Structure 1
Amino acid sequence: MSSTTTQKKTGIGWTTNSRALLTLAFPLILTNFAYVALTTVDIVMLGRLGALEVAAAGLAIALFNQLRTTGTGLVTGVSNLIAEANVRGDHTRIRELSFAGFFWATVSGAVFCVALLSLGPLLIWLGQDPAVVGKAGDFLTILAPGMLPCLWFQNLRHVTTGLRKPGPLLAITLVSVGLTIGLNYVLIYGKLGLPAFGFVGVAIATVTVFLFSFLAFTAVILRDRTIRQYLSWSGSRRWSPDAVASVWRLGLPIAGTYASEAGFFSVLTLLIGTFGVGALAAQTVLNQIVYIVFMVSAGLSHAASVHVSEASGNADYVKARRLGLLSLAWGVVAMLIVAVPYLMIPESIVSLFISAEHTTDAGIVALTVSGLLIAAGMQIFDASQNIGNGILRGLGDTAGPFRISLMGYWLIGLPTSYALGVVADWGVQGVWMGQTIGLAATAAILLLAFLRRVDRLRKPATDHPALEAIIS
């Protein structure tokens, strides 16, 4: 075969794989936007109430997202396990895995709800402003029970993704966004004959939309005959100790990785909180802006993970390698596009969330703008490490990303953030720079781990066993 023919076939492969990857990723990204829209609308509305409200809700939402992310990680492996079972045509296994996911979503959701309601004294001990902690506690009292429908929705999402039928997510996305906006307005300001709940109205609206999203998604997907057979309570046995154990074995390291990443950001938020209410308000707004864009890489990561799992199930590691690199490339391209408005119109972006005329300290706006300029580079590394986690998971490696996250976030990122922010006295900007360094290190190690693992699967022997032991 001529080199020209080989290049043409390779080009076709890259194009075909890109199309397949983006086709699955697009509805997942939209679903991610549905969830981020909840907190985005919350922050925008709270930004009109004042810096204290933004800081308190930001702290509460950060803690909620820390545990929500961990619970989501616990059931994330459901999509990979179902994808593998679907390739084999094992319908009984798919049914058992679906219910095993619901089991772990319920257990973790209940535990996390209790944990969120008990954090007040710990936060004060960690140096947070008592006024901020008090309002955050009021917010969490209402928000915490929303953990259960939130995680149930996530499990349903992973079931449908594993079956490569994520279509209904789009409708839920659009309706949820509109409902969030409407409920926030009605409950905060007291419209349609309802009392004005003010600050806590945001939490009531968020929990209501969580529940609605789960119920609506359930109703929609049960209309699909293929999916319905795996979720029906009637018929053959659903409970399987082996399926429950399989979801746990695959999900626990994923949950650990997600918790490590989310915990890294949460600890940095607590560190920034010691700089004052203004710094915490700026961190809340910046986190939300970054979180919105992060949903693009999260969708790419999940889609790539499923595709890599299918390629691995067929022992096609050349395709698995190509898919992994493709997803990373698309993630970087997306973040470069986002970086353009960050660099050109940062003030306009920040003003969508909070403005000087709605705060007592105009310096909060300037501080957030400076953080957005740092985020332009940070998000490239954040996307790369997120996709790196997904493609390694697709190869069946969930313990490796957990170890790598501990190294990149906690041994590199956190000490660097403290050194630049506190020791060097660069303040919030120093913490953000240290965070960027930690994400860059994590992304680099994950990419190296993916390449070595997929090449090892193609060629079992390795010339570097010591390095292999660290990254695989």
Structure 2
Amino acid sequence: MLTQYTKEFRYNLKLAAPVMLGMLGHTFVGLIDNIMVGQLGTAQLAAVSLGNSFMFIAMSLGIGFSTAITPLVAEADGEGNFNSGKSALKHGLFLCTVLSIILFLIILAAKPIMYLMKQPVEVVELAIPYLDLVAFSLIPLIVFQAFKQFSDGLSMTKYPMYATLIANVVNIVLNYVLIFGKFGFPQMGIVGAAIGTLISRFVMVAFLWILLRAKAKSKAYVTAIKLFVLDSKMLRKIIYLGFPSALQMFFEVGIFTAAIWLSGILGKNPQAANQIALNLASMTFMVATGLSVAAMVRVGNQKGLHQYRELKRIALSILLLTFIIEVIFAIFFVAFNTLLPQMYLDVNDVANLVDNNEVILIASELLLIAALFQISDGIQVVVLGALRGLQDVVIPTIITFIAYWIVGFPVSYYLGLYTEYANSGIWLGLLAGLTVSAILLYIRFKILSDRMIATGSVLDK
């Protein structure tokens, strides 16, 4: 019986691997940024963390909204309906572009909030010029996401990966040159990291479009796009799917962002430690995100084919694969919890030895908790992908809000600020929210898939 699920592992990994590598590429850039910036000091690392916390919120809305494109394209591809697939891309691209500009302007307007958040003044003053440039990079990033989600919907998952890898190379080179002032360039510190991020994201979207235009399967989709000739019905459909999906990601990213802010109240060293642990946990989360896209695409395809029993079997096979992988990551974090944080800081820096040792100690404790929530985090994001493949978005949005903000955040707030657990207490709240989310989302998927199998049709959700 188990073989009916394990036999899907190879194809699931084949479909998900390019997405994983592409997402890991995004996170790897953050890893390199953090390691390079960490050499400048804990205040600079905390400033990048604070600046990126605003970006994470905006990115969650933009990326979450763009996921509406994938199930629509996947279903159209399953049905062989080119016009519907191109319409989904065009309208999704238009809405993502508009949203990216709005989010950029909101971040610029929100900068003064940093001074009201009880963050270290030194950290805030370093974060603001960094945020100015990184905020503008939202525009090419979210436009890239529109093309990426379209490409994923056609099961052409490797091309966004290629674009991301090229952008990573550009970003790493520019970071090295601009952060430290190499080859005659001025030493710009964390502002140099922001410039590298901005340029690399423009390169990323341009390169992906060139790749898609060169492929026979996607060329007709991405050329001759009449971006301002719009159909209100398709706009409403994407908004209906995209807005709840954006909220789902916003609620999850929001609680991790709250963890950054809460740790900032505890001081610059706890905030720097939080950034290290969060960056490492993000690396493993990107693997689950790749499997989530595989679930979204494969469930969307089976929905288009009206193969509901196969739909459930395939989704469960991806969940089983995710569980196995996340257990391996959990073991890895436990085994190397004291060693991994040392990559981010100069342990031989005598002048900052006390600060660096404190950051490493706190981060190593957080990684033990991160090991525990690997499984919950992986399962919840994969089930969420399967539900998006079913185009079921409203109830999952309510579930994520309850899990993260009714359960998770109060635990983080109380244990983090009012008990001796401090940073560890903040992360125990994350663990609680992710676990509740995983359980409730799975129950939702089981109910819907069982109903479809029983009736032979998609029911009103």
Q: TM tier, shorter chain?
A: over 0.9
Q: CA deviation at 1:363?
A: 0.8
Structure 2 distance, partners of 1:52, 1:118, is 24
Matched, 1:218 2:209: yes
Change (3 A) 1:357 1:81: same
Which residue of structure 1 lines up, in the alignment, with residue 172 of structure 2? Answer: 181
AA aligned opposite 1:366: L
AA aligned opposite 2:218: I
Secondary structure at 1:425 match in 2? coil
Which residue of structure 1 lines up, in the alignment, with residue 102 of structure 2? Answer: 111
Which residue of structure 2 lines up, in the alignment, with residue 434 of structure 1? Answer: 429
> Which residue of 414, 439, 443 maps to 1:448?
443
Q: Could you tell me whether the CA contact under 8 Å between 1:96 and 1:238 is conserved in 2?
A: no
Q: CA deviation at 1:171?
A: 2.6
Matched, 1:380 2:371: no
Structure 1 distance, partners of 2:325, 2:255, is 24
Cα-to-partner distance string for 1:80-110 (whole Å, 9 max, x where unaligned)? 0011111222211211111111111111111
Which residue of structure 1 lines up, in the alignment, with residue 137 of structure 2? Answer: 146
Q: Could you tell me whether the CA contact under 8 Å between 1:189 and 1:197 is conserved in 2?
A: yes
Output aligned runs, 1:231-380, within 5 Å: 231-233=222-224, 239-358=230-349, 359-360=352-353, 361=355, 362-380=357-375
Cα-to-partner distance string for 1:349-377 (whole Å, 9 max, x where unaligned)? 11112244354512111000111111111
Structure 2 distance, partners of 1:175, 1:395, is 33
Structure 2 distance, partners of 1:139, 1:234, is 35
Secondary structure at 2:68 match in 1? helix
Secondary structure at 1:119 match in 2? helix
AA aligned opposite 1:315: H
AA aligned opposite 1:183: L
Gaps of 5+ in 2: none
Q: Could you tell me whether the CA contact under 8 Å between 2:90 and 2:225 is conserved in 1?
A: no
Which residue of structure 1 lines up, in the alignment, with residue 394 of structure 2? Answer: 399
AA aligned opposite 2:69: V
Q: CA deviation at 1:175?
A: 2.4
AA aligned opposite 1:50: G
AA aligned opposite 2:449: V
Which residue of structure 1 lines up, in the alignment, with residue 417 of structure 2? Answer: 422
Structure 2 distance, partners of 1:127, 1:236, is 44
Secondary structure at 2:427 match in 1? helix
Which residue of structure 1 lines up, in the alignment, with residue 43 of structure 2? Answer: 52
Structure 2 distance, partners of 1:171, 1:252, is 28
Identity %: 27
Structure 1 distance, partners of 2:435, 2:228, is 46
Q: CA deviation at 1:287?
A: 0.8
Gaps of 5+ in 1: 1-6, 462-467
Q: Could you tell me whether the CA contact under 8 Å between 2:16 and 2:157 is conserved in 1?
A: no
Q: CA deviation at 1:139?
A: 0.5
Cα-to-partner distance string for 1:165-202 (whole Å, 9 max, x where unaligned)? 12223432332332222111101122222222122100
Which residue of structure 2 lines up, in the alignment, with residue 412 of structure 1? Answer: 407
Q: CA deviation at 1:236?
A: 11
**TM-score normalized by the length of structure 2:** 0.94
**TM-score normalized by the length of structure 1:** 0.92
Q: CA deviation at 1:424?
A: 2.7
Provide the aligned length of Structure 1 versus Structure 2.
455
Q: What RMSD in Å do the two structures reach over aligned CA positions?
A: 2.0
AA aligned opposite 1:271: L
Secondary structure at 1:118 match in 2? helix
Q: CA deviation at 1:278?
A: 0.7
Matched, 1:228 2:219: yes
Structure 2 distance, partners of 1:204, 1:233, is 32
Structure 2 distance, partners of 1:423, 1:167, is 47
Structure 1 distance, partners of 2:336, 2:249, is 32
> Which residue of 14, 17, 20 maps to 1:29?
20
Matched, 1:171 2:155: no
User: Displaced runs of 4+ in structure 1, greater than 6 A?
Assistant: 234-237
Which residue of structure 2 lines up, in the alignment, with residue 161 of structure 1? Answer: 152
Change (3 A) 1:380 1:155: same
Q: Could you tell me whether the CA contact under 8 Å between 1:190 and 1:196 is conserved in 2?
A: yes
Q: Could you tell me whether the CA contact under 8 Å between 2:22 and 2:162 is conserved in 1?
A: no
